[in-house]
Chain A
């Protein structure tokens, strides 16, 4: 009995020793400690230099790999800083950075879309664009800079812009009609539901494609500036009018919302069964390969005579607030978004430049598709970037499914959607 006791004690010693060695307490900064503000940035810097021994990691989607590696090579020649690429697309990068940044394992520079800025700022993982701010403002489209500004601070380095427009198959239709009346008239001659032939298709249930209609009528998401989460104008009179108009289009597109997805839309379009396909520049490459006579046109005007207002997104590079090498990171983000490299990215991947000179360059302007998208971008509404934006998509989808699939009263559906959005925004506080 007594012997047993001894082992118990000794094994618990072992446990304790191992616990101590395995998870020795963190070197906690004492409570209420504030960092010494004079550290490192006391004197006014004259020029930006990368830190000694700086090594950078960049997150971006897989298709950007070749482009980034080329830029990294040039950057290394100029500043002798190594840059490695890791694949994490801009659609997932911000969510990942919210957890990885503070843990010290995030990339130094990462690609993201401007509508996630609010999420990043409220988690404190974005380093403002400070040193290069004037340059960035000076050389990029005003709309892009505005989209990357959050609470009057500029956060990103604009890389490319995107918005949606109407791809069309020139073998099936001469050009995109001026207004929706023209679209409906064409549909009446072209549609054949049995054979799956349709005049026009967009992702009816997806808020990204619903907003161009409602916004054209005068609905707005979060205040006039897209910054006020308490002012949701998605169920005002104009919005209801817009929703009624969308409902009327069910006649020329008699499908359920969940039956229309990007893949099906694309496959109908490439097999000559769909005349007009509403999508963005990300589809340009693959559509060019499979549709011989591909064109792209601006959105048709609404019955009230107003143009539609597609959402636009600005892709940018952001600097991780927790990077060990803030200077080198800022320099690389600035370097890879310069005019020269934006043109390069357009040539390699068809990314539409945010840089005004690059957008006006011969290379871009002579491209019939890119130039139309850039024109449409000037007539677009940047997606709001406040965190509340995340609460828009799924209630909108639910509302569209009742408006479009079940032919329910648009007003009731939109009211319910706004109620849902407000309650979701509130419970987060």
Chain B
């Protein structure tokens, strides 16, 4: 019987499914109504009507704003004795509203497609003479099995509006000329300039020179800072764990202290301790008959200083990590080694080190990524100084991230800052991704061969 009807429909060229899908494609909800799912159909219909209303009243204008970034800047008008501020288009706000509109329309398209599919599916069920859910049944399903989805919508919206949207917005800034002094809205308009910011970063002598210099130092800093703190931590941990050492608890506490003091305090104090003329460090050196060291004044020495101070802060962290790993190494391995007559160094090389490395390698990579963005140490200790006459807005010890800070907060060069931000993101993302892949492969690997 069913089969006969279905055949008949196919002969007519279009079954319920086709008609429903077509109707839904014409206007959301029509297909659902055709399938006699009235409530659902009405909800869809209203959703489309509301969307159309929004598109006509504001969304279309917002999209226009996103494309043009405004045409009419704000200006002052004098009427009689008084000036009035005539508001105009604020390019940056238009960009944000335009993005919201784009997001909404994107969702609408997904929803539209889902609505056509839904009409087609229900149509197919009707052709097969299966029962079609009433609205109440659908609603109950949503309350039971669908409950997690309902709960997830709220965080999903949060992520969309508070994470994805701002990120897109910040990335887009790199493709505009949003920078002081000539392109700060609402007095002036901001325009799309394509890749000009990036090409400027590479071709303009002052910028490219600064970028190369700061980038090189950032990488050197990240490598050296990570290696020194990591191996320093291992060394200290091994020393504490030596069998002959007494008062282990005391030593541990002592070495954790630098980490316990907030960096804000310790680094600003260090800055004063290391003053060339008046700092206690140089005063003691002079008393001992050495000359003072220009800790923070000379470009080379300033770099050495930040690395030394960073060791003082960072070694405790790796020390704690390694102490944890050391306790997990089975004692009998060492005993077996001793029976074979291994020296202390051989034990360290063949048992301790592989264990520690294996356990902490992922953390090592993350520390490296973190050091690329180590804002605190540089900003609080040297603030990027000593000044460098060849750099644009950066000093000799500035990292990319502190340079970015100076560009946005001190000089309002948002477009350059955004371009640099994108570059930093690519570097960090590459490391994180690599790290993630490695840790996966680690999990599937057997223990040390």
Which of A76-84, A121-129, A304-312 participates in binding chain B? A121-129
Q: Which of B62, B118, B153 contacts A9, CB < 8 Å?
A: B118
Q: Which residues of the other chain, A, contact B276 by a CB distance below 8 angstroms?
A: 255-256, 258-259
CA distance A10 to B139 in the complex (A): 9
A57: interface (CB < 8 Å): no
B76: interface (CB < 8 Å): yes
Interface on chain A toward B: helix, strand, loop, or mixed SS?
helix
Is B206 a contact partner of A423 (Cβ separation < 8 A)? yes
CA distance A10 to B104 in the complex (A): 16
Given A28-B58, A259-B275, residue A7 in contact with residue B149 (CB < 8 A): yes
Is B103 a contact partner of A19 (Cβ separation < 8 A)? yes
Most buried by B among A98, A123, A399, A402: A123
Q: Which residues of the other chain, B, contact A31 by a CB distance below 8 angstroms?
A: 61, 64, 71-72, 89
Q: Which of B59, B80, B117 contacts A44, CB < 8 Å?
A: B80
Q: Which of A95, A118, A128, A258 contacts B297, CB < 8 Å?
A: A258
Q: Which of B44, B107, B277 contacts A196, CB < 8 Å?
A: B277
* Per-position 1/0 for B405-443, Cβ under 8 A of A: 000010111000000000000000000000000000000
Q: Which residues of the other chain, B, contact A141 by a CB distance below 8 angstroms?
A: none
Given A7-B142, A25-B101, A122-B188, residue A127 in contact with residue B65 (CB < 8 A): no
Q: Which of A12, A37, A95, A259 contacts B107, CB < 8 Å?
A: A12
Q: Which residues of the other chain, B, contact A417 by a CB distance below 8 angstroms?
A: 389
Q: Which residues of the other chain, A, contact B27 by a CB distance below 8 angstroms?
A: none
Task: State which residues 186-231 of B face A: CB under 8 Å.
Answer: 186-188, 200, 204-207
A395: interface (CB < 8 Å): yes
Task: State which residues 1-33 of A face B: CB under 8 Å.
Answer: 2-20, 22-33
Task: State which residues 66-117 of B face A: CB under 8 Å.
Answer: 71-87, 89-90, 93, 97, 100-101, 103-104, 107-108, 110-111, 114-115, 117
Given A37-B77, A259-B277, residue A8 in contact with residue B149 (CB < 8 A): yes
CA distance A129 to B266 in the complex (A): 47
Q: Which of A25, A127, A128, A424 contacts B58, CB < 8 Å?
A: A25
Given A124-B186, A423-B204, residue A398 in contact with residue B117 (CB < 8 A): no
Which of A63-71, A182-190, A347-355, A386-394 participates in binding chain B? A386-394
B350: interface (CB < 8 Å): no
Q: Which residues of the other chain, A, contact B83 by a CB distance below 8 angstroms?
A: 127-128, 130
Is A29 a contact partner of B87 (Cβ separation < 8 A)? yes
Is A11 a contact partner of B207 (Cβ separation < 8 A)? no
Is A427 a contact partner of B204 (Cβ separation < 8 A)? yes
Is B387 a contact partner of A394 (Cβ separation < 8 A)? yes
In the complex, what residue of chain B is closest to A267 when comparing beta carbons? B278
A233: interface (CB < 8 Å): no
Is A25 a contact partner of B75 (Cβ separation < 8 A)? no
Q: Which of B54, B296, B411 contacts A24, CB < 8 Å?
A: B54
B25: interface (CB < 8 Å): no
Chain A nearest CB from B346 CB (Å) reads 49
Q: Which of B54, B114, B185 contacts A12, CB < 8 Å?
A: B114
Q: Which of B71, B87, B117, B179 contacts A32, CB < 8 Å?
A: B71
CA distance A397 to B385 in the complex (A): 10
In the complex, what residue of chain B is closest to A2 when comparing beta carbons? B121
CA distance A15 to B276 in the complex (A): 60
A163: interface (CB < 8 Å): no
Chain B nearest CB from A97 CB (Å) reads 11
CA distance A30 to B68 in the complex (A): 13
CA distance A45 to B412 in the complex (A): 39
- List residues of chain B with CB under 8 Å of any chain A CB: 43-44, 47, 50-51, 54, 57-59, 61-62, 64-65, 71-87, 89-90, 93, 97, 100-101, 103-104, 107-108, 110-111, 114-115, 117-118, 121, 125, 133, 138, 141-142, 145-146, 149-150, 152-154, 156-157, 160-161, 179-182, 184-188, 200, 204-207, 275-278, 294, 296-297, 385-393, 395, 409, 411-413
- List residues of chain A with CB under 8 Å of any chain B CB: 2-20, 22-35, 37, 40-41, 44-45, 95, 98, 102, 118-119, 121-125, 127-128, 130-131, 196, 205, 255-259, 264, 321-322, 326, 387-388, 390, 394-395, 397-399, 401-402, 405, 413, 416-417, 420, 423-424, 427-429
Residue pairs across A and B with Cβ atoms less than 8 A apart, 16 shown, are A7-B142, A7-B146, A15-B107, A18-B153, A19-B103, A20-B104, A23-B100, A28-B58, A28-B65, A124-B76, A127-B83, A256-B277, A259-B297, A264-B275, A417-B389, A423-B206
- Given contact pairs A37-B77, A258-B386, a sample of 17 additional A-B residue pairs in the complex whose CB atoms are under 8 Å apart: A3-B141, A7-B145, A10-B146, A12-B110, A25-B54, A26-B97, A28-B58, A34-B72, A98-B184, A98-B412, A123-B187, A256-B276, A256-B277, A322-B85, A395-B389, A398-B387, A398-B388
